[in-house]
A and B are shown apart, each in its own frame.
Chain A
Amino acid sequence: MSNYYTDIPEIKFELENSPLMQRIVELKERNFADKDQYDEAPQDVADAMDTYDKVLDVVGDIVGNIVAPNAEAVDAEGPHCENGRVRYAEKTYENLVAMRQAGLNGVTMPRRYGGLNMPVTVYTAANEIVSAGDAGFENIWSLQDCIETLYCFGNEEQRQKYIPRVCKGETMSMDLTEPDAGSDLQSVMLKATYDEENDCWRLNGSKRFITNGDSDIHLVLARSEAGTRDGRGLSMFIYDKRDGGVDVRRIENKLGIHGSPTCELVYKNAKCELCGDRKLGLIKYVMSLMNGARLGIAAQSVGLSQAAYNEALAYARDRKQFGKAIIEFPAVAEMISNIKARLDAGRALLYQTARYVDIYKALEDIARDRKLEPEERQELKKYSRLADAFTPLAKGMNSEYANQNGYDCIQVHGGSGFMLEYACQRIYRDARITSIYEGTTQLQTVAAIRYVTTGLYSQVIEEMLAQEVPAECQAYVERLRAMADKFNAAIAQVKEAQERAEAAGEDKNNVHDLCARHLYEMAGDTIMSLLLLQNAVKCPELFAKSLQVYVNLAEADVEKNSTLVARMTSESIDSYRQA
């Protein structure tokens, strides 16, 4: 009888304690025009906030009483491939039925299509809650998010055809990866040809590593322009399983997220519809799809970190050695405090990112109906840029934290943790994929580094440092100022090293790419420290301890990365090259 939302007050805090939230609700509800048409629509901001809280209570209840108790059985059974179709683990169906009965589908979609019209921020909370119960099931459920891309780029006929189905609980998948096109999606070769006779597109070829690949509605990246070899020849298609033509050849046997079927798909002249414009598949639509998915993985990672914390804490309180609970030993307590600190810091970054995404998406949506005012256009531009900068940071940092937290959680369990009898081993295995799929941490760095070099992160850090804090927190501001200085100095060092390389006729990108990860981590550490400071100022009961522990960790991490950047820029980088 636990509730994965009400048991964790930090989530409610994140939802309710940002000055941006009021703006998000106003934009999303557009003067609350829906209230006269839909019984379930909110009357005002306070009413909407109350509804979000109650909806998450339902999510927490379902996860606590159905999804989490099912997780072990789902992990053990996993899905099966039968006659080209996926059969989920038995308990996965139970989870899906519960989510459908609760109406937790199409969470962010407008009401006119049957959706709940809730902000991405609230959906993100639901996502982390589901993930804390079962990260594998979270994949299947949260792929509903693909509908955002169809909503943004599909035509009205496609919206009316597909969105209500997703709101009723049909599942989705995004078919991107192929055997020779993983991180490098420009190499996608799945062939899309126009069938003149039947006036439709046809897909032929195969895809690999497709999460929930036997879903009801697929978004497919395929090569529509014969003879092309790069990203500009790719388009996005919608495949409806009701039309048939795509079979599952096999399901991968994986280290973790066993409940989530990872499929190899075969397209045999499968009928499909073009979504949006030709040739914009990768350049525009997949980028949108991936940004949504990356925020989803960040939420999944935070959920896993929460689960790691819960398991570590419960075990350490219960387990006695040398006559006392092991949580009494500082070495064990430190591990658990570190998990909690990374969890709270990562969660603060997750929700800040979600709020940025909400504001720009809601403005983009308004722009579909009317011309934006100049200040609205400014606002859209600002938050769109912040969302682009924060998404890879939230995904990369949180997924690495989930791995570290899963590792520490097993360590707290000692030998018992290595046996397959405690949940910690599943959390550890499930966490491993988060820093790989939807772009590895290395690729998150690639996406984020331009915001390091253009100074966007530094600017955000400056703005946050300038905010007023109570006198007792002033010491933190000074420590964070020192971290920011080291970050800025490291950026300058890399730039100088690039100039030296260029002057010497060498490739200036080498030193930049080598240092990128370290600059990225410094940005993440500093921004998360500042976000946690803001939280602790508002609610010391929840965050004061985490703030202290996290800033200790972050300070040391910034120092480490600062040293590495200094070395890498001053010494020969040949040592970092393996033949």
Chain B
Amino acid sequence: MWTRSGPLRCAAAAATALVLAGGGAGCAIIPTSGSPIPAKEESNSDPLNAPYVRMIASPPKPGAPPRDIVAGFRAAMASVDDPDWEIARKYLTGDALTEWNPESGVTVFDSTKPKEESDATGATMTFRGAVAATIDGDGRYHDLTLAGVERDVAFGLRKVDGEWRIFSAPPGLLLSSADVKRAYGAFDLYYPDVSSRWLVADHVAIRINPSESQVETLVRWLLRGPGGSLRSAVTNVLPAGTRLLRVAPDGDSVILDFSSSMATIGSQHEQLRAVSAQLAWTLKQVIPGQSIQIQVNGEPFPADGRTIKWQSYPEFNPADLTGDQAAYFMRGGVLHRVDHDAGDPVVEGAPGQKTMGFTFPAISGTERQARVAALGEDGAVYVSSMTEDSRWDKWIAGTKGSTLTPPSWDRYGAVWTAENIAGELRVWTAYGAAAQRVLVPADIAEANVEALRVARDGARVAMIVDSGHGPEVRTGPIIRDEGNLRIGELRTLVEAKESQRILDVAWKDGQHVVVLSDSLKGGRVYTAYSVTDGRSEEPKSAAHVSTISAAGDSLLAGGEDGGDGGEVLSWDGKKSEWVTKAKDGASMPVYPLG
């Protein structure tokens, strides 16, 4: 009977419906019929940041004693909240206020309790400690722990309006190791090599900027281009003048919005691919599970809006050795493959046949048919491949009377070696029978070279040289200016010390080397170094070891067992001891490249 008293009925019906709905709330809203499903924990991590801790900088408290003022100033220097150092400057007065320049570099300085001296005019706080490292403007961390530089750092204070203030402070930022650990992130920035075929890592310490995400920070650093140590050794594929406009998470991916100059690489497929790989591999450190979308001024780029994942660029993998590597060793002048189950068979082709007494083999790659370079009995470098009917070809002959260092392959398929001729150091590289001379920096032009190894990414070289003070390990970039090869500025990784012998050096990957050394104090040890920041690991005992080869964390060594010739040892990291892999005259174990 809707026709009569319509609105009333209507209201009554609405009320009934509401009451029913309200009553219905008592029934189960959450479905009671459920089946067990895998309960994946919801990720609580910030899509653009790894978690980090910041020091809170606070301005000086009224009436604080000198030591609190200095501690507060050091805390303000360690704080990343304050990009313009306004709070830190509140601790300063006089000359320090005008001359203190936080941009002039970072000194990492670990000290004990300060010594406090005060007189009528003011107070001086003196810290005594070791300079652990420096960080330059390129973010290059330079470890100085081994150098063991002891220094006094003094802060002069005086009273201004009844409050203590610092009037003389050491230049730049003075941070402790803990501060650096907290306020800096260690990241690998990847740049394509000169051929844009794979990526070369540049290890940098980047100050956390809380006002932007770490993704943003890393991309900005990439846009700045490679630092001094790698400049010209790698290419910068990001178009000049490109700016990052915006970073935003979008579900499982992260959007990078660039300014319009990015669009210039749209038509260059190779470059685009290199840029994508560079971004993907660099950002993998912060957002491992997420893909990347590139946008230009908010428009998807390239236009199909596809996402970038590091898994899509396996050939760019900066770690060129992955997984368990095939290893090789020499026994009786013949190359064997390490394969315990098969009884360490000889390789195919000429290297597996007894021809000449080859020593110091080097393998060009991970594939089965890779090429082998070795030193012949005549001191020249011969190359053969591990295929049937192969033969040894002489690639680098060297000058008569000189000695060539053991050969080393780079990733481009060239063999490298160094040569000592009276008073002159020459470096050779060869893609075939015709060797090419490589320019070396002047400071080692007359040094004595004992070993030369090209890094697995082909961007750096490590050498054992002796300029007269004793052997030292020096590393530097290989600069490839359109075919003209040159070794860039070398940095000393292991300094010469008295009565220290450096026996061998081997690359673990693109950035780390293992150095085998012998000193009176410590005996024969091997030490892993990071080429980029100079940090070293605890030296480990390596008695009886004479040659060494590394691939990632695997380590092989050729040693003398005292009996019939040598043996091949492998380092067991868990037990921290050497394990014998092959005996009976086995020697000179080698992993591909490095």
Whether both chains belong to one complex is answered with: no
